[in-house]
Amino acid sequence: MTKKIKQINIFFLSLFLMIQISSSINYTFADEDLSINEININEYNMSVLSVNQNDQIISAITAVKIENPTEKTFAPNFTDVASTGMNFLRFSLPEGFTDLYVETDLPDGSLIELAKGFAITSDIPPGNFNLIFNFNVKYNSSELIFPLHLPHGAKSFKIIIPDESGLISGNNISFSKEISISSKIFDEYVGENYSKGDYLNIKMDNIPTSFIKKITGSLNYEIINLVIIIIMINFILVFFLVRFFLNKRKKNETA
């Protein structure tokens, strides 16, 4: 499935770029020989926005800072994967994610949804860029396991979760502090210096679940059906026994 990436349009930035283009004839062309390994992820910041206890759905948003430190424009290659490898920008998502939405200030391009994430087709010129994406994911019981692959590494990683909404653990991740955002308390976990290809193996424990969900989730419906059948059989037997003795009593009284 392919969706159009919505661009971050800033009027004054656009005006400035138009002036620069009109006054200069220096253009930067995409270099197909530039490897994705030259692209850096300086910051990877994830925020758990909400935990819906009734539907057991987590809503999260991630902000990524991308850097191309070279003087060339990176061009993704989707045609020669066998020889060049996955030479394009991609990001990891929990399996079963829904409602993916992406914004970026990279040049115009598209996103390609994958089973466990997405890739983008935009070129990456020299400089720094931002990419923001949010998604929903359903959790079972009181935990969520998210491998979170970092194919491009990350100099720093941060995840925040509303206080009392669960506990975070993972590779090279530790609790940092409590922070306040719009009068709401969040727990902050941080890590740094992840190599390209690392997995964070994030696990969220003690996620709140509604009382009704806990009860229905722990029930064995085969046993419940058996119990109901036994109760109905006993009820029918008692009914006929009572009716039998009442009829017998009436006959004795009239005899």
User: Tens digit of pLDDT for each residue in 114-160?
Assistant: 889 999 999 999 999 999 999 999 988 778 999 999 999 999 999 99
Q: Give the strand order in the sheet containing 2-4.
A: 2-4, 110-114, 117-120, 89-92
Query: Are 52 and 109 in the same domain?
Result: yes
Query: Are 106 and 175 in the same domain?
Result: yes
Q: Is 215 within a domain?
A: no
Confidence of residue 82 (pLDDT cuts 50, 70, 90): low
Task: Please report where in the chains the tokens 């062309």 appear, as a residue.
Answer: 29
pLDDT the model gives residue 24: 39
* Structure-model confidence comparison of residues 101 and 222, the more confident one: 101
**Mean pLDDT lowest among 38-42, 85-89, 189-193:** 85-89
Tell me the mean pLDDT in the region 49-73. Answer: 93
Task: Please report where in the chains the tokens 């020299």 appear, as a residue.
Answer: 126
- How far, rounded to the nearest angstrom, does the alpha carbon of residue 27 sit from its chain's CA centroid? 38
Query: Are 36 and 58 in the same domain?
Result: yes
Query: Are 92 and 175 in the same domain?
Result: yes
Q: Is 201 within a domain?
A: yes
Residue 14 confidence (pLDDT) above 90: no
pLDDT the model gives residue 65: 97
pTM: 0.69
Q: What's the chain's average pLDDT?
A: 80
Q: Which domain holds residue 226?
A: 220-254
Query: Are 45 and 164 in the same domain?
Result: yes
Assign residue 110 the CATH number of its domain.
2.60.40
